[in-house]
Structure 1
């Protein structure tokens, strides 16, 4: 067997593999004998089928399989032994001029295209400057969070007259063009959340209503053409909601109001555990700490994005683009040319970042341990649970959730990639100059636009 690699340019190469009968005959004969021992054919006892009979019936398919296995093993060994770094996978070169008899006497020759990983230099120094924002809760954002938490632990009441943040439980009937109820049209009893109404003029018409009041509602205008909200309100599909033109008659059946929980010891204990917080000042301090922790996660993401953008823009990386386009098409049969053209730039950018990450990890001996993956997954799950309840989940229960979560391969791979990125960003932070800057959340949000 003979294998050679021909370099086309710095990003492309062709591997040629030549296979002679002596390279595969023994493997094919062994496979035929094994098949004969297992075969169950009419007229023969199990395990007593002559090898010659198996060769006559299945010899060609066995030969094809063994050649394919030999090609795969040979190619992988060549790439490993010669430390050839490739992008994607080798692509077989189709050659209609080559015809094989597949009769155990053939000398085979197969060519494979390789997309070579480019050699890159990633140099981070103290001259590279980034800003780490320390995000503080402004009064408006903090008040909104406190209000939301108090409502989460509040109680439902039924006031006589609706206010801006109430929910109208109402019968909603589709109207014809002349303003009459459309017979056979949409008729649904549901809840209209006034805090979702974006049109201020319409909101005014829904405030001050009481039971049995009737008003007309333009749902598209009221909810700014949000098909998700409209579909849920009318119990129809989002597609139908998107195309809906009709107005609706709203007949109020009830007014529901979620009152905020009282700031008392019972409420504090429910949130934080017995005796942890004993007054309103302590409650506000705890919520401030919680929201600023979430804000600073956003700040970390911005810093990481700034680093990502700078390195993508500054590190010179050329890719074997034509090869990669062919490889994407070959490995995704349903991928259309239009989809490839639209998505290739993002694919290339992500691939470049992976090359940068791998270079930094290799050059700086960065390790990624399972414990890092586990702790990161646990933090992400804890944050999700706290969105529904600020009270922390018991540590042993959270650890059990995390272990179950990581058993899913996709989850484990996603968290591994996240930890990999975090480790790389931590290295960049340790080398570059990081300027610290305090900023109010409402100002920080403007930076993200």
Structure 2
């Protein structure tokens, strides 16, 4: 057996693997004998099927399997022994001029393309600077959060006249082009939320209405073409909602209004527990603290994104793009050429950052322990369970669910990558100079 590498350039290589009969003969004979012992064929006692009979019936498929096994082992060992950092997987080069007889005397030659990771130097220092935003709650955000809380714990009323942010319970009937009710058209009884109406003129026409008032409404215009909202209002599919052009006759049947809860001790106790908050000032400060705590996560996400872009700009990594595109097509049969071209830049960008992350981990000997992966998965599951059940799981139950969750290779890899990213993030935070800058939340949202 012989394997050779022809290096095309720093990012592309070709491996040629030659397999001769002496390389596979013994393995094939052994596999045939093992199959003979397990075979159950008419006319033969179990375990007594002659190897020659198995070879005649299944020899060619056994030969194919063993040659493939040798080939896979050879490629894997060569890549490991020569410390090749490959991207994707080796791609076989198809040569239609070569045909094998598979008659146990063939000399096989297989050619594979390799995409190689680029070699690069990477050094982050204190001379590198990024802005670390300290997000503060602006008055409008604080007021909006308090209003939402008050409505969540408020009471429903049915006023005589509709106002901004009310919900109209109404009959809707599709209209013809001449303005008459379309016989056999779409009709529904639904709740129309005025806070979802984006068109100012239409929203104004829906304010000041009373029971049994009738108005004509262009739903596409009212909801700015949002097929999800329109489909829900009319109880039709989103596909049908997208194509809908007709206006609708809206007849008010009832008006629902969610009154804001009073800022009193009963309200404070419902949200924070008995006597934790006793005054309106304490309540506002508590809400401010909670919002700013949440905004720390937003600021960290922004910093991580900035670090990623900074790293990509700092190190211009070339990739074997044409090889990677062929590999993506080979491993995703349903991927169209158009989808490949549209998505490749994002794929390449993520791959470059993965290479940078891996180098940071390797060069700085950052260790990722299983206990950290387990803890991250456990926290993720705990948060998910709390969304659906007010009663938290016991530590034992949560541990069992986490162990089961991580048995899935895809889940385990995803959580591992998240923990790895966090390690790299924390490392870079300790190396790069972070200039702290206070910013109001509404201005923070305007940042790209």
User: TM-score by structure 2 length?
Assistant: 0.93
Provide the C-alpha distance between the structure 1 equivalents of 2:171 and 2:296, rounded to a whole number of angstroms. 44
Deviation at 1:360, TM superposition (A): 0.6
Give the equivalent residue in structure 2 for 1:240. Answer: 240
Task: In structure 1, list runs of 5 or more residues that go unmatched.
Answer: none
| 2:382–2:398 CA contact under 8 A, matched in 1 | no
Deviation at 1:145, TM superposition (A): 0.9
Task: Tell me the SS of whatever aligns to 1:446.
Answer: coil
Deviation at 1:377, TM superposition (A): 4.4
Deviation at 1:408, TM superposition (A): 5.0
Deviation at 1:416, TM superposition (A): 2.3
Deviation at 1:373, TM superposition (A): 3.2
| 2:167–2:257 CA contact under 8 A, matched in 1 | yes
57-66 vs 250-259, which deviates more? 250-259
RMSD of Structure 2 on Structure 1 (CA):
2.4
Task: Tell me the SS of whatever aligns to 1:447.
Answer: coil
Give the equivalent residue in structure 1 for 2:194. Answer: 194
Provide the C-alpha distance between the structure 1 equivalents of 2:434 and 2:332, rounded to a whole number of angstroms. 42
Provide the C-alpha distance between the structure 2 equivalents of 1:267 and 1:341, rounded to a whole number of angstroms. 55
Residues 87-126 of structure 1 mapped to structure 2, 5 A cutoff: 87-126=87-126
Provide the C-alpha distance between the structure 1 equivalents of 2:397 and 2:176, rounded to a whole number of angstroms. 54
Provide the C-alpha distance between the structure 2 equivalents of 1:385 and 1:206, rounded to a whole number of angstroms. 40
Residues 272-351 of structure 1 mapped to structure 2, 5 A cutoff: 272-351=272-351
Cα deviation, 1:75-102, whole Å, max 9, x if unaligned, reads 1111112211100001112222323221
The alignment status of 1:3 with 2:3, answered yes or no, reads yes
Structure 1 residues 61, 386: CA separation in 2 closer, same or farther (over 3 Å shift)?
Answer: closer
| 1:199–1:221 CA contact under 8 A, matched in 2 | yes
Provide the C-alpha distance between the structure 1 equivalents of 2:273 and 2:3, rounded to a whole number of angstroms. 69
Task: Tell me the SS of whatever aligns to 1:333.
Answer: coil
Provide the C-alpha distance between the structure 2 equivalents of 1:147 and 1:86, rounded to a whole number of angstroms. 55
Structure 1 residues 376, 15: CA separation in 2 closer, same or farther (over 3 Å shift)?
Answer: same
| 1:217–1:248 CA contact under 8 A, matched in 2 | yes
Residues 17-416 of structure 1 mapped to structure 2, 5 A cutoff: 17-377=17-377, 396=395, 399=398, 403=402, 406=406, 409-416=409-416
Provide the C-alpha distance between the structure 1 equivalents of 2:334 and 2:409, rounded to a whole number of angstroms. 24
| 1:382–1:392 CA contact under 8 A, matched in 2 | no
Provide the C-alpha distance between the structure 1 equivalents of 2:388 and 2:265, rounded to a whole number of angstroms. 20
Provide the C-alpha distance between the structure 1 equivalents of 2:11 and 2:271, rounded to a whole number of angstroms. 59
Provide the C-alpha distance between the structure 2 equivalents of 1:387 and 1:152, rounded to a whole number of angstroms. 17
Deviation at 1:211, TM superposition (A): 1.6
Deviation at 1:249, TM superposition (A): 0.7
Provide the C-alpha distance between the structure 2 equivalents of 1:438 and 1:8, rounded to a whole number of angstroms. 52
| 2:378–2:399 CA contact under 8 A, matched in 1 | no
| 1:135–1:440 CA contact under 8 A, matched in 2 | yes
Deviation at 1:231, TM superposition (A): 0.9
Structure 1 residues 147, 407: CA separation in 2 closer, same or farther (over 3 Å shift)?
Answer: farther
Deviation at 1:349, TM superposition (A): 0.9
Query: When the two structures are aligned, how many residues end up with a matched partner?
Result: 447
Deviation at 1:270, TM superposition (A): 2.8
Deviation at 1:278, TM superposition (A): 2.7
277-286 vs 46-55, which deviates more? 277-286
Deviation at 1:3, TM superposition (A): 1.9
Deviation at 1:165, TM superposition (A): 1.1
Provide the C-alpha distance between the structure 2 equivalents of 1:10 and 1:68, rounded to a whole number of angstroms. 28
Give the equivalent residue in structure 2 for 1:442. Answer: 442
Deviation at 1:143, TM superposition (A): 0.9
| 1:225–1:242 CA contact under 8 A, matched in 2 | yes
Provide the C-alpha distance between the structure 2 equivalents of 1:122 and 1:2, rounded to a whole number of angstroms. 37
Structure 1 residues 74, 372: CA separation in 2 closer, same or farther (over 3 Å shift)?
Answer: same
User: TM-score by structure 1 length?
Assistant: 0.93
Deviation at 1:402, TM superposition (A): 7.2
